[in-house]
Structure 1
Amino acid sequence: MSDKLPQESQNEEVDLGQLFNAIGKLFEKLFSFIGQLIKGIFSAIIFSLKPIVNNFKMILIILMASALIGFVVERLRAPIYVSDMLVRPYYDSKYQLANNVDYFNALIGSENYKELSNIFEIDSSTTAKELIGFEIEIGPETQNDLLKEYDDYLKSLDSTLAVEVTYEDFIENRDILAGSIFSIKAKATNNDIFPSLEQGFIKTFENEYSTKLKARSDSIRQVQKLNYLVELERIENLQKTYLDIKTNESNKGEVRLGVDGLIPLIQEKTETKEFELFQEELRIRNALRLLEEEALEESEYYDILSSFEEVGTVELDIMERFSLVFPLVCLLIMIIVYIALRIFKFIKEYE
């Protein structure tokens, strides 16, 4: 019995020793792997920088020459001016607006300056040739506008589908024509051409479909107004009748004997509903007021919130900064050529 206990203790110590040795070897392998990884990354960085250092002078000369060429091209190239106009279309004329922007760009691309001059009422020989293109974007919107639009969108869906559509999904998948305010950006090589372009876009909003839609809305509003006026006239007649009844009762007053012909004498009054009629009259007059306000708000096919500026501003596009773009392109080409040569040399020498 006493001989077995020391033997079991020795076995446990051996097992613990082997465990600690295994853990130590595991950590050694881990640290060795991390060291090899860091060494590999460092070698890759040095290997990448080595050709740049070896050919530093040539690379610097090429980059400086390309930057100088880009700077000269920037100076010789005519500047591009931009100007924005904010509009709020009504009667679904936004669809025609988006279609016409594409049409105008197609006319510019095909150099159909005669048609452009007819649309914008500008000179075709000079002014129309200075147009570069148009862009349309959703105008500035507040968080409240987006939330209201999201709420209206959910109301248009089935209840089972509305649960699955989150606000983030709605904003991410929102189409450009979902907005109510649009920003129209015009580009040209002339900085004072923009005010004359406004007339061409005004023609866009009053098209065949929007005219038909406006006429339909005006007719519906007129029918609603006539119905409200007829109902208001009926209420006024009832109010007059009730007033006559009250006047007659106050002047002569009908009386009858009390129960079983005994006194006192009781005056019988006709029940009227003046208060209910007054409430109904307020409701109808409020509805008429809302109709008038709606007719005033939608009396036009569009609202110009901000016109084109009198003088356009120079467009500052990073892709137009040739003094930066040319050196980057040259550096990329040199890297691709170097990698291609190294691969070619490796394949050629491979056994």
Structure 2
Amino acid sequence: MSNEEQKPQQSEEVDLGQLFKVIGKGFERFFKFIASIFIGIYKLVIALLAHFYICKIWYALAIIIGFCIGYYLDSKTVKSYGANMYVETNFNSARQVYENVKQLDQLTSDQDSLRLASILNIEPSQAAKLKGFFISPSIDENQVAEMYSGFYTKLDSLSRTEMTYDRYVKSLTATNYPIHQIGVRATDKSIFKTIEPGVKQKLIDNPYLENLVLANKRNLEMEEAALLSQIQKTDSLANEYLKIRINESRKEPVQGSGTNLYMAGDSDSNGLLVDESKVIEKRLHLEELRREVNLRKAEEFGVLNIISGFPQTGYDIRKWTDKKKFVYPLVLFGLTFAFFAFLGLGKFLEAESKK
């Protein structure tokens, strides 16, 4: 029995030994494969460095020639300048603003300088220098969160469970944002301040919106007049109450007597005396409402508010890829490398064909 038990144990040891050998060979091959990759990369880098060192004169000439050609072409090319204006739209006028900007951009694309000059009230020669109009919303994450908070409070209980913040943000379009960036591209860096009045007038060119501005202005003036009247009445009430207080303070106190004064409309006072602090609080509240009306008069003065106008001069909006003095050296460098690579491939194929 003992011999029979030893034979299976020996066979198991042999199987485990072979398994470990196979695993060891697998790791060895894997590490050799990784090492071969690094060795191949190292040889490739050395070969490239050797090639560039041998042909350094050719590559230097390609870069110098490309830079000179690109610099010459850049000097002959008309520069493009850009500037931005930031506006805040009122009375849901963002759609009208976007449509008007698209019209201006189409006129520049069609090179219709006469009509563009008539709209912006400038000379046709100046209008010909305008190359494009652009508009996009100015997105502020904090402002979006405030918009979502205001929108969320207006929803019923069922809609609140479905309308998440991410879903709300995805539902927003460019016209839903209050502030927008209007960009202009031109070949004259001094034209932007000149066209600003015309651009503003074109953006608000809508009789319906202009009537809304007039109606809102009248409403705010009426609201301010009503608040001013309430403030005057509150001041008069406070003065009368103060006189009563002074007169009562001069009298000799009689037990059980006193003067009661109640606020207008305070029918549920249950006989409680209203002191002057409530009158003062009401006046302060009215003053706060009046300040809010004055702020609204400033913010809603027109169809749109210019938060930031065009600068006095524009700035170069070209990227480095638009400058030929940078692009042409890279192109000639690549063509030179491709030429030598083609020559090297030809020699390799010729050598292989002789074997």
TM-score for the superposition, normalised by structure 1 = 0.68
User: Cα distance, 1:328 vs. partner?
Assistant: 4.3
Tell me the distance in 1 between the aligned counterparts of 2:175 and 2:10. Answer: 82
Greater shift in the superposed pair: 192-201 or 130-139 = 130-139
Residue type of the partner of 2:324?
F
Please name the residue that 2:202 is paired with. 204
User: Cα distance, 1:304 vs. partner?
Assistant: 3.6
1:153 to 143, 148, 152: 148
Q: Secondary structure at the match of 1:34?
A: helix
Contact 1:66 1:330 in 2 (8 A): yes
Contact 2:83 2:315 in 1 (8 A): yes
Residue type of the partner of 1:121?
N
Tell me the distance in 2 between the aligned counterparts of 1:160 and 1:220. Answer: 37
Residue type of the partner of 1:75?
S
Please name the residue that 2:352 is paired with. none
Contact 2:108 2:132 in 1 (8 A): yes
Greater shift in the superposed pair: 2-11 or 320-329 = 2-11
Residue type of the partner of 1:134?
F
Please name the residue that 1:188 is paired with. 186
Tell me the distance in 1 between the aligned counterparts of 2:337 and 2:145. Answer: 49
Contact 2:119 2:202 in 1 (8 A): no
Contact 2:126 2:191 in 1 (8 A): yes
Residue type of the partner of 1:201?
V
**Paired residues for 1:1-351 under 5 Å:** 2-3=2-3, 6-7=6-7, 9-35=9-35, 37-38=37-38, 65-124=65-124, 126-138=125-137, 146-157=141-152, 158-165=159-166, 170=169, 175-208=173-206, 209-222=208-221, 224-225=223-224, 228=227, 266-267=256-257, 270=260, 271=271, 273-275=273-275, 276-328=278-330
Please name the residue that 1:259 is paired with. none
Contact 1:83 1:185 in 2 (8 A): yes
User: Cα distance, 1:198 vs. partner?
Assistant: 1.2
1:42–1:165 CA distance, 2 compared to 1 (3 A): same
Tell me the distance in 2 between the aligned counterparts of 1:53 and 1:241. Answer: 100
Tell me the distance in 1 between the aligned counterparts of 2:49 and 2:173. Answer: 46
Please name the residue that 2:267 is paired with. none
Q: Secondary structure at the match of 2:311?
A: coil
1:13–1:155 CA distance, 2 compared to 1 (3 A): same
Residue type of the partner of 1:165?
D
TM-score for the superposition, normalised by structure 2 = 0.67
Q: Which runs of 5+ in 1 are unaligned?
A: 256-264, 347-351
1:150–1:336 CA distance, 2 compared to 1 (3 A): farther
Residue type of the partner of 2:78?
A
Q: Secondary structure at the match of 2:301?
A: coil
| Percent identity (aligned) | 24
1:112–1:336 CA distance, 2 compared to 1 (3 A): farther
Deviations, residues 135-186 of structure 1 (Å, cap 9, x unaligned): 33455x7xxx5314312224314422444528xx94x886554544444333
Greater shift in the superposed pair: 34-43 or 105-114 = 34-43
Contact 2:91 2:209 in 1 (8 A): yes
Contact 1:242 1:274 in 2 (8 A): no
1:74–1:242 CA distance, 2 compared to 1 (3 A): closer
Tell me the distance in 1 between the aligned counterparts of 2:77 and 2:36. Answer: 53
Residue type of the partner of 1:299?
F
Contact 1:94 1:205 in 2 (8 A): no
Greater shift in the superposed pair: 126-135 or 49-58 = 49-58
Residue type of the partner of 1:26?
G
User: Cα distance, 1:118 vs. partner?
Assistant: 1.1
Contact 1:96 1:205 in 2 (8 A): yes
Please name the residue that 1:349 is paired with. none
1:110–1:333 CA distance, 2 compared to 1 (3 A): farther
Contact 1:93 1:205 in 2 (8 A): no
Residue type of the partner of 2:166?
V
1:324–1:285 CA distance, 2 compared to 1 (3 A): closer
Q: Which runs of 5+ in 2 are unaligned?
A: 153-158, 261-270, 350-355
User: Cα distance, 1:197 vs. partner?
Assistant: 0.9
User: Cα distance, 1:30 vs. partner?
Assistant: 1.9
Q: Secondary structure at the match of 1:309?
A: coil
User: Cα distance, 1:114 vs. partner?
Assistant: 0.9
Tell me the distance in 2 between the aligned counterparts of 1:127 and 1:237. Answer: 62
Q: How many residues align?
A: 324
User: Cα distance, 1:112 vs. partner?
Assistant: 0.9
Tell me the distance in 2 between the aligned counterparts of 1:81 and 1:329. Answer: 26
